[in-house]
Amino acid sequence: MLRTHTCGQLNISNLGETITLCGWVQKSRDLGGTTFIDVRDRYGLTQLVLNTDTDANLREAGRQLGREFVIRVTGKVVERSNKNTKIATGEIEITVTELEILNAAKIPPFLIEDETDGGEELRAKYRYLDLRRNPIRQNLVLRHKMAQEIRRYLSDLDFIEVETPVLIKSTPEGARDFVVPSRMNPGEFYALPQSPQTFKQLLMVSGFDRYFQIVKCFRDEDLRADRQPEFTQIDCEMSFITQEDILNIFEGLTRHLFSKVKGLELGDFPRMQYADAMRLYGSDKPDTRFGMEFVELNDIVKGKGFSIFDNAELVVGINAKGCASYTRKQLDELTEWLKRPQIGATGLIYCRYNTDGTLKSSVDKFYSEDELTNWAASFEAEQGDLILILAGQTDKVRKQMNELRLEIGSRLGLRDKNKFAPLWVLDFPLLEWDEETERYHAMHHPFTSPKPEDIALLDTDPKNVRANAYDLVINGTEIGGGSIRIHDRELQALMFKHLGFSKEEAQKQFGFLMDAFEYGAPPHGGIAFGFDRLTSIFAGLDSIRDVIAFPKNNSGRDVMIDSPSTIAEAQMNELKIKTTVS
């Protein structure tokens, strides 16, 4: 080894030892006849001392070092007179006797510091430099620890880690596939897996009753802070189990991770029906760190001559505690925020419960103070509270109110990243109607089992068929989801029929799975956690990019290696494909 210790290893117990360190120059400072240099590696930082009185030539060599030079130093561990209690090596420093430059470095395009001056695009272009910064490195160390604990927990419960193929067949699973042309089969394409769904079900047919995999998945969809074109799942499947077994085991996994990685003990997770989540929060992934549940007002506001309420399918509101002091300017700003295209509300109705006990509404013309008192009672409002109301088509207005609730929660400081509110959301609809294609699609995927008592509704009332499906939500983010699967060929064929597949289409796309069901498929079910999302919550981040070593931007580009890119004409000819870009 070129070094005897790392830059985060030495402490007061090493006094008097002669050691050798390797690392990058963080910064240097000249004070009189002494130069202090901070040298850094992934383990920490150590202060070096070079003194003119001891060795003037060595000190002068140290003064020539630039930021990010890679160096090797030998010296003696001595006690610091001015100790730094913020770092592990802060009680000692190294009196340097030998200095070797292993590699010089250009001036980096941004500061390699915890708080950097580099913008997001610049840091993405030089990601290998960004990864030297403590916050990013700590995120990847956190990710490693979580992966280790996941493997330990599942292996102790007899799960087997099995790798599944990356080059597979294109199947409709909700998002667009990434496809790969086959040179040996001209005109045919592999697809990259959106998930290992069919393979893990085949593993159940094969008798591997407990499978898991920390696996790359690929979806060609529009990107945002918590999406990447390639992402990682904790993918799991089990045979001979009920929904309750899966909830208990993976609730246990989540508690295990919080305990071992963050030192936090979580109790049992609350459970909520999908229908209640939509009614009370307007979201199938509600943030339950704070209340502010929806109150539906149809019964008490309609029929008073106010057409916006009278013509609405749903009138719904929230109680913003302590916000009656909001000025008209603040309320107008909030209204404009709601009117943005991303949310699409047409307006906002409010009612102040003033500290003097009076009620003041933006629709006073239509509602008396006695009627406003009924509003306040419905919201259990107190003096100083602000009632915010939206009206319109049910699904749209619930989504809009969800956005408003989250925004008010953020403004009131109720979305504390150090507080964790896990929740199971159960009994999702099996199917959802797609206006563009004018047919039903599987809300999760076509292998999800309907509730046995709802199977008869597939023919008569498909929109009200519930799925044996469940999602784990933490702090308003969907961490994972799964279902009990269909394991019977006849029921699977019925499901494909209701999803609009002909028998021929179903056989072409999924014949291999349906054929496998004829050879003794066990009852089975599973779940997949978004590993990137889960890690970002542990790290207290809004975006998953900084828990991924080499992420892509919102356009799906890796600006560091300039990918995607065109390929040589010879490769195109070899693959027998042509492109037309208009």
For residue 34, give Cα distances in angstroms to 50, 54, 62, 91, 357. 6, 10, 10, 18, 70
Query: d(Cα 212, Cα 528) in Å, to the nearest integer?
Result: 9
Residue 228 annotated as part of some ligand binding site? yes
Choose the weakest-confidence range: 161-165, 213-217, 266-270: 266-270
* Percent of the chain residues past pLDDT 70, beyond the cut: 99
Residue 571 annotated as part of some ligand binding site? no
pLDDT, tens only, 333-348: 999 999 999 999 999 9
**Residue 227: what pLDDT?**
87
To the nearest 10°, report the CA torsion of 456, 460, 461, 462: 70
Residue 79 annotated as part of some ligand binding site? no
CB neighbours of 148 closer than 8 A, spacing ≥ 6?
Answer: none
pLDDT band at 500 (very low <50, low <70, confident <90, very high): confident
Average pLDDT along the chain: 94
Could you tell me which residues are beta bridge partners of residue 403?
none
Choose the weakest-confidence range: 66-80, 235-249, 252-266, 453-467: 453-467
What are the structural domains, with CATH classification, of the chain?
12-103 (2.40.50.140), 137-263+426-547 (3.30.930.10), 290-415 (3.30.1360.30)
Q: What is the mean pLDDT of residues 469-486?
A: 96
Which residue in 479, 487, 490 sits closest to 449, CA to CA?
487
Residue 219 annotated as part of some ligand binding site? yes
**Residue 224: what pLDDT?**
73
Residue 533 annotated as part of some ligand binding site? yes
Q: What is the mean pLDDT of residues 278-305?
A: 96
For residue 246, give Cα distances in angstroms to 218, 388, 558. 25, 39, 37
For residue 493, give Cα distances in angstroms to 185, 367, 440, 455, 457. 30, 56, 15, 13, 16
**Residue 239: what pLDDT?**
98
Encoded amino acid at 191, one letter: A
> In what side-by-side order are the strands of the sheet with 160-161?
160-161, 210-218, 230-239, 524-530, 477-484, 469-474, 422-426, 271-273
Residue 530 annotated as part of some ligand binding site? yes
For residue 333, give Cα distances in angstroms to 198, 389, 404. 49, 15, 12
Q: What is the mean pLDDT of residues 384-390?
A: 97
* Percent of the chain residues past pLDDT 90, beyond the cut: 85
Residue 44 annotated as part of some ligand binding site? no
What tokens were used for 376?
Answer: 């306040």
pLDDT band at 59 (very low <50, low <70, confident <90, very high): very high
Contact 350, 389 (CB under 8 A): yes
pLDDT, tens only, 162-203: 999 999 998 765 678 999 999 999 999 999 999 999 999 999
Task: Please state the pTM of the whole predicted model.
Answer: 0.92
**Residue 566: what pLDDT?**
92
Residue 453 annotated as part of some ligand binding site? no
Residue 532 annotated as part of some ligand binding site? yes
Query: d(Cα 67, Cα 124) in Å, to the nearest integer?
Result: 20
pLDDT band at 151 (very low <50, low <70, confident <90, very high): very high
Choose the weakest-confidence range: 79-93, 97-111, 437-451, 518-532: 437-451
**Residue 523: what pLDDT?**
96
Residue 221 annotated as part of some ligand binding site? yes
Contact 64, 50 (CB under 8 A): no
**Residue 174: what pLDDT?**
65
pLDDT band at 440 (very low <50, low <70, confident <90, very high): confident
Residue 352 annotated as part of some ligand binding site? no
| pLDDT exceeds 90 at position 226 | no
**Residue 420: what pLDDT?**
96
Residue in the block written with tokens 């070094």: 3
